Every structure is written in structure tokens, then in C-alpha cells.
Amino acid sequence: MLVRTLLEDGRPVPFGARVMDPTGNVVGIVGQGGQVFIRSETRADAVLRVEWGEHGSCALDAAISANADPAENLEIVKATCRSYQ
């Protein structure tokens, strides 16, 4: 799945930021323009943690489709990476 993600202020998530599942496994890296490929085995209900630099982080709920077939099509979604509360 390809996620086009922005921060709450509309800027792209920084290039090279790590995207991790709830157990801390890296499931993707942010590319240019805030685009990130998420591994297909990531759970559909997972809230992902995005981290960059020493203090940058946000939460990404990409609403991954539970029935998406990665062998058939590339699922593209837009999502906002929100600050932790």
C-alpha cells in the first residue's frame, strides 16, 4: 500500500522517517513528498508510529483495507500524521 501522508500543518512528513507498527517493527520509510510504502502484512487496524530526528514523531492511521490483495493492485490512500496527545 502507498500512503500519501502529511503532517497536521499540511507539510509532508520528513523524508527518511521510519514508520513502525505497534510492536516497533519498521514497516516502511517515508520517501519524497511524504509518500510511504507500507508492507502488506501490516494489520488493517494498526495505528502506526512515524519517527524522524531526535524528537519528531506522529501517529498515522492509514485505514488499511483488510481485504486488499497486494498481488492485484496498489492501494493508494491519503492520511494525516497526527501529534500524539
DSSP one-letter string for 11-27:
PBPPTT-EEE-TTS-EE
The percent of residues above 90 in pLDDT, for the chain, comes to 46
User: What integer is the mean pLDDT of 16-35?
Assistant: 93
pLDDT for residue 62: 66
Question: In 3D, which of 49, 48, 51, 42 has the Cα closest to residue 17?
Answer: 51
* Distance, CA of 12 to CA of 32 (rounded, Å): 8
**Structural domain range at position 72:** 2-82
Given the C-alpha cell 492501494, which residue does it identify?
75
Domain CATH for 31? 2.60.40.2070
3-state secondary structure of 71: coil
- pTM, two decimals, is 0.81
Domain count, the chain: 1
pLDDT for residue 57: 94
